[in-house]
Amino acid sequence: MVRFFKRSRHKPEPLVRELIKVVGINQVLYTAEDLIGYEYDATIERAAPEVVVLPHTTDEISSVVKICRQYNRPIVPRGSGSGLSGGSVPIKGGVVVSLTRMNKILDINIENRYAVLQPGVINLQLQDRLATEGFTYAPDPSSQRICTLGGNVANNSGGPHTLAHGSTVNHILELEVVLPNGDIARLGSRVLDTPGPDIRGLFAGSEGTLGIITEITAQIIPLPQSLKTMLAVFDTVTSASEAVSSIIRRGVIPVALEMLDQEIIKIVEPRIQAGYPLDAGAVLLIEIEGIPDAVDADSELVKAACEASGASEIRVATSSEEREKLWEGRKAAIGAIGAAYPAFYLLDGVVPRTKLPQVMEDVLAVASSYGFKCANMFHAGDGNLHPTLMFDPQNEGVLDRVLECAGEIMRICVDSGGAITGEHGVGLEKTSYMEWIYSQDDLDAMENIREAFGPADVFNPCKILPNGHGCAVGHAAEINIAMGGNQTSADIYI
């Protein structure tokens, strides 16, 4: 597959020289071949930056921001680039500030139950380090092997254990940030429930539009006394969906309640050998934690709920190795799809739990009407869906059909009383959907918040809000910008 796109022909030598003075020549990338790896994330959008800077300190970032303001260049913060909404794609060029070299765990304070981190720390790296102390950091995105804590905060990422523990914002105490004028500020506090407006909460989920996160103080919690991981097997997605509501109606809130349908099981099981039955219509991966007596009681209620909903088999992991294998199948699902198909498009929507059976039927029907295979692996407990459309990008017009199909699926989520994102963020891909769920007054209020921190076109322009400062609306229009303005979305792949 060959992909053609336009690169910026502007030669920003004065800008590059100023940036090199601040961070050093080895921390500034500006040749076309060096910029390729920074023009995309895990979505289909593409746009090349003019310059990439890889700072080591907060003070360096502050100076970089001031230089970019002087040269009137937009700034795009970036972590590992594992985002799934186009959030780190530099759609208007400018300077990408890559935070991957700011990757130190600065402090772990067990007595006060917090960890201080630079934004480039990998999620799993923190969890592995805390495990040696008998603690953990609860948010665990499926991409935790590669995603950074800074990116998690920027997107307010979730994960399988969001159902009981909450998303990233619920575990962040304090942030150090660089604002659009280059000033350094601290938001929140290491003390819980500090008075005043929750500006820290505004930054969590702001997707790099308000400033650059340079230090994170995260709350940590003890590892559970007891843990039980179960696999419930169902003949259909509908019966598995019904079991989700049945479990919670019985008063049990598992720490994780994940669903995988037959299509993803057929992709994952031959590669991972997680123990998922190949003939299952769907499986639920259920985890319960707490004190031993409560875990035993809750697991019996879960079994009863699954049996009442038609589970053909219920397994309980009997060793840590078996538990890890069951989870590997879930967390390696996206990688398995990538290995099995030329291309895929992963969606992120939210629906009420009680609407899951009907919504899942509708999602599969829409995908089938477009001729796409659709694999589903998602956080069923909180209704956070991730339908994944598989396709061959060399088929003429396929990308337009993928985006049209995706739009219909997102509309199903909204019409069911849900939302357009649960954890991946709005980024580029969903700006045109924001008007489905927010009034113009709502959108104006969000724009006012952004401008309260500084000019709205400084940090990560054209993200989240529609019609922002010279930004096009709609997925295909966004791609057209990335391609230099002369192509349609179908021209990305040939």
Is residue 6 scored above 70 in pLDDT? no
Confidence of residue 5 (pLDDT cuts 50, 70, 90): very low
Confidence of residue 380 (pLDDT cuts 50, 70, 90): very high
- Considering the chain, tell me which residue range(s) the CATH 3.30.465.10 domain(s) occupy: 105-222
Tokens 């969000």 appear where? 446
Is residue 476 scored above 50 in pLDDT? no
Confidence of residue 59 (pLDDT cuts 50, 70, 90): very high
Beta bridge partners of 256: 287
Mean pLDDT of 355-377: 96
Q: Which residue intervals of 81-222 are DSSP H helices?
A: 123-131, 149-155, 162-165, 199-203
Sheet holding 105-109, edge to edge: 105-109, 114-117, 212-219, 172-178, 184-188
- Considering the chain, tell me which residue range(s) the CATH 3.30.70.2190 domain(s) occupy: 226-334
Is residue 278 scored above 70 in pLDDT? yes
Q: Coil, helix or strand for 178?
A: strand
Mean pLDDT of 339-352: 95
Identify which has the larger pLDDT, 481 or 110: 110
Q: Are strands 95-98 and 51-53 parallel, antiparallel or unpaired?
A: parallel
pLDDT of residue 475: 52
pLDDT of residue 488: 30
pLDDT of residue 468: 59
pLDDT of residue 456: 79
Is residue 4 scored above 50 in pLDDT? no
Mean pLDDT of 107-123: 98
Tokens of 412: 């199903």
Q: DSSP string spanning 448-467?
A: HHHHHHS-TTTBSTTSSSTT
Identify which has the larger pLDDT, 23 or 470: 23
Q: DSSP string spanning 114-140?
A: EEEE-TT-BHHHHHHHHHTTTEE----
pLDDT of residue 384: 95
Identify which has the larger pLDDT, 278 or 195: 278
Task: Specify the CATH architecture of the domain 13-100+446-465.
Answer: 2-Layer Sandwich (3.30)
Task: Specify the CATH architecture of the domain 105-222.
Answer: 2-Layer Sandwich (3.30)
pLDDT of residue 45: 86
Mean pLDDT of the chain: 91
- Residue-wise pLDDT for 162-209, tens only, equals 899 999 999 999 999 999 999 999 999 998 877 889 999 999 999 999
Nearest-10 crossing angle of helices 333-340, 320-331:
50
Distance CA 410, CA 435 (A): 13
- Residue-wise pLDDT for 34-56, tens only, equals 999 999 998 888 999 999 999 99
pLDDT of residue 490: 29
Task: Specify the CATH architecture of the domain 338-438.
Answer: 2-Layer Sandwich (3.30)
Task: Assess contact for 444 and 378: CB atoms under 8 A.
Answer: no
Distance CA 494, CA 489 (A): 11
Task: Assess contact for 54 and 98: CB atoms under 8 A.
Answer: yes
pLDDT of residue 480: 38
Is residue 339 scored above 90 in pLDDT? yes
Distance CA 399, CA 390 (A): 11
Distance CA 86, CA 400 (A): 17
Task: Assess contact for 41 and 86: CB atoms under 8 A.
Answer: yes
- Residue-wise pLDDT for 393-452, tens only, equals 999 999 999 999 999 999 999 999 999 999 999 999 999 999 999 999 999 999 999 999
- Residue-wise pLDDT for 89-110, tens only, equals 999 999 999 999 999 999 999 9
Helix (H) or strand (E) holding 271: helix 262-272
pLDDT of residue 39: 95
pLDDT of residue 296: 97
Q: The pTM is what? A: 0.90
pLDDT of residue 435: 95
pLDDT of residue 108: 98
- Considering the chain, tell me which residue range(s) the CATH 3.30.43.10 domain(s) occupy: 13-100+446-465
Is residue 8 scored above 50 in pLDDT? no
Other C-beta atoms within 10 Å of 11: how many? 10
Nearest-10 crossing angle of helices 475-482, 398-415:
140
Which of the four CATH numbers 3.30.70.2190, 2.40.128.20, 3.40.190.10, 1.10.10.10 does domain 226-334 have? 3.30.70.2190
pLDDT of residue 363: 97
Angle at 355 between CA 353 and CA 359, to 5 degrees: 120
